[in-house]
Amino acid sequence: MGSIGRNIIEKYPLGLLVVMTVAVVSSALVFLRGDRQTGDVEMWVFNAEHRDLFLPVADRWNEDPESPTVDVLLLEFQSLSRRMLSGFFSGTPMADLIMGERQVASQAWRGPVEAIGFVDITDRLEAEDLRQRFNPPSFAPWTVNGRIYGLPMDVHPVMLAYRADLYEAAGIPIEEARTWREFMEMSLPLIGDLTGNGVQDRFVLEMPEADGNVATMLILQAGGDLFDANGQPGMVHPVNVEVMTELVYWSSRRPALTVDIPLFTGSGERLRGEGIVLAWLVPDWRAGRTMRNIPALSGKMKLMPLPPWEEGGLRTSVWGGTMIGFARASPNFENTWRFATDLVFDRDVARNMWREMMIISPVVDFWDDPVYDEPLEYYSGQAIGRLLVEMAGDVPYRSSSVYYTLAVTELANALNRLNREARRMASPPDRETIRAMVERDLAVAQENVLRIVERNIFQAPQ
């Protein structure tokens, strides 16, 4: 390093140098990009599958001399998030349309309503009679104070994937289970120490302890949530306490009913393929992931509605979600609206989204499409698309809070602590003992989430 470089570093704080560097790079990008032509549309997506689905529609626009040109650009997930926030709050160049996953999109409403970088499309949906064409709960993650900031791109109903070959060989009609408790009791003959080595090697259900998403799905199914109707932390809701009590009981009884298997890892998929668990919760997209990642289970799996917590109760849940948002800073709203609605209401896009990604369209007009009736050999000849569509209208509403990911993490931390504590006891605790433990730990989780929420003057309780 030359003497000039050393003098600069000695004279200015490192943090200031970083800020200056970012400013210079951003200015250079703006200069190099130049003025975009009026009417052009740029869209950012975060996975290659969505890009490939959207490109035929973009090509159709680009071939029409009367239409603006469209670019669909693929960005890495974190990069899209950073560039979106930079565009909203610093005015750096950004896309007209952004396909935002739930964690990313919710960052836009961290501040006051007037600072939300997405266009409020509520009135436009009503004016064009489009709102009723969507599955109503699919709007929930993109709704803030009753106003909608994105077009939903999915529904993500949840069903139970289970080892039909094992249940059927044992003569157990598991699909007839009327509640979760009955489901677990009917499964008992298939679990335990199957090899006689003193170690339990088969369980009923996966229950990741470092990821709170499975526990959250079960809470939503039971009618609970991690935030209340006013967007304030609701970790201690009585429904949450009851569900968590049951989850800890499942983990700590002997033989245990659940096992901690990591999500989205090769080792986790191998354990599922080897039969360590009989069942796991799958939204539509994970049903497809299971097919791709565990081919050895082809013809051995089936899907069924979730056993309800009480007879007659809800038999599905929801996990994940994406939207198409319209950048408020874009000068091309009319063109972006036309292109986005072209995508969402294109039957071929919806059809291919199921075939390529196994994602159900949120547009109810398309639910009668024969594509959902196609049987799949992997799932023992079931037309799982039709089964998922039948669940889609019942998916529960959930909070759109920017702090939802934090709450899910706190839920996982509580579940991990509770399971370890219960398993260390001399004898498995009963439900009443566990309930007291759960109330204690969820109160801690509530305090942890509330402490962060209260730092935001726009989110804190009044």
On the question of pLDDT at 19 being above 90, the answer is no
**Mean pLDDT, the chain, as a whole number?**
91
Average pLDDT on 336-343 reads 97
Domains and CATH numbers, the chain: 38-152+320-373 (3.40.190.10), 158-318+395-453 (3.40.190.10)
How is residue 286 written in tokens? 């994970």
Arithmetic mean of pLDDT, 118-122: 97
34 confidence band (pLDDT: 50, 70, 90): very low
Average pLDDT over residues 273-278: 97
Residue 13, pLDDT > 70, answer no
- Asked if residue 269 has pLDDT above 90, the reply is yes
pLDDT band for position 45 (cuts 50, 70, 90): very high
What's the pLDDT at 112?
A: 85
What pLDDT is attached to residue 215?
97
Residue 359 to residue 357: CA distance in whole angstroms: 5
Residue 9's pLDDT is: 43
pLDDT value, residue 31: 40
Q: What percent of the chain has pLDDT over 90?
A: 85
Give the mean model confidence (pLDDT) for residues 215-230. 96
Q: What is the DSSP string of 41-97?
A: EEEEESSHHHHHHHHHHHHHHHH-TTSPPEEEEE--HHHHHHHHHHHHHH-----SE
What confidence score (pLDDT) does residue 458 get? 74
pLDDT at 113 (0 to 100): 86
Which residue has 């594509």 as its token pair? 371
**For the whole model, what pTM was predicted?**
0.89
pLDDT of 17 strictly over 70:
no
Per-residue CA distances from 436 to 98, 427, 440, 442 (Å): 45, 17, 6, 10
- Residue 110: predicted pLDDT: 84
pLDDT in tens, 433-445: 999 999 999 999 9
Least confident of 28-37, 168-177, 385-394: 28-37
290-332 pLDDT tens trace: 999 999 999 999 999 999 999 999 999 999 999 999 999 999 9
Between 157 and 91, residue with greater pLDDT = 157
Average pLDDT over every residue of 56-77: 94
- Give the model's pLDDT for residue 462: 57
Q: Is the pLDDT of residue 20 over 50?
A: no
